[in-house]
Structure 1
Amino acid sequence: MGEDASGAETVVYADCVHCGEPSEYPESVKGITLCPVCEWHEAQRTACSG
């Protein structure tokens, strides 16, 4: 269990904290995980907050 046909361990990706879609980060990553879309939106919000 936990392995694919090639013998490598499968990676379970963490869900985005905003929308619930899978992120690009494994569940073992600590902190807030965002999907690529929400990550882009967050970058836009912080870049223009001057």
Structure 2
Amino acid sequence: MSLTPAADRGPRTAAPTPPQDRTEGGTQQERQDASPRADCVLCGEVTEHPASRPGALLCPVCEWQEAQRSACSG
């Protein structure tokens, strides 16, 4: 078995992307991107959640930190 550098193996090609589900008003991702996003209640950063979603919304960083705090609170 011979080990060759990655450059000798030839160019890498990206995997083909699956076709997107098109419905009225564009793809689901386009509709999600167009909706306004809620701000995190702890730090004020933009979250992944739409502004219309009820509850106290956290950004991914604050969600992770909150999960760490609650996981260790024996």
- Name the TM-score class by shorter chain: 0.7 to 0.9
Q: What TM-score comes out, normalization by structure 1 length?
A: 0.80
List structure 1 segments (4+ residues) > 6 angstroms apart after TM superposition. Answer: none
Q: Which has the higher contact order (CA 8 A, sep 6+)?
A: 1
For 2:43, the equivalent position in structure 1 comes to: 19
Question: What are structure 2's unaligned runs of at least 5 residues?
Answer: 1-25
Aligned residue for 2:38, secondary structure, equals strand
Larger Rg: 2
Q: Percent identity over the alignment?
A: 59
The structure in which a higher percent of residues are helix is 2
1:29 aligned to 2:40? no
Aligned residue for 1:30, secondary structure, equals coil
Question: What are structure 1's unaligned runs of at least 5 residues?
Answer: 1-5
Q: When the two structures are aligned, how many residues end up with a matched partner?
A: 44
Q: What TM-score comes out, normalization by structure 2 length?
A: 0.55
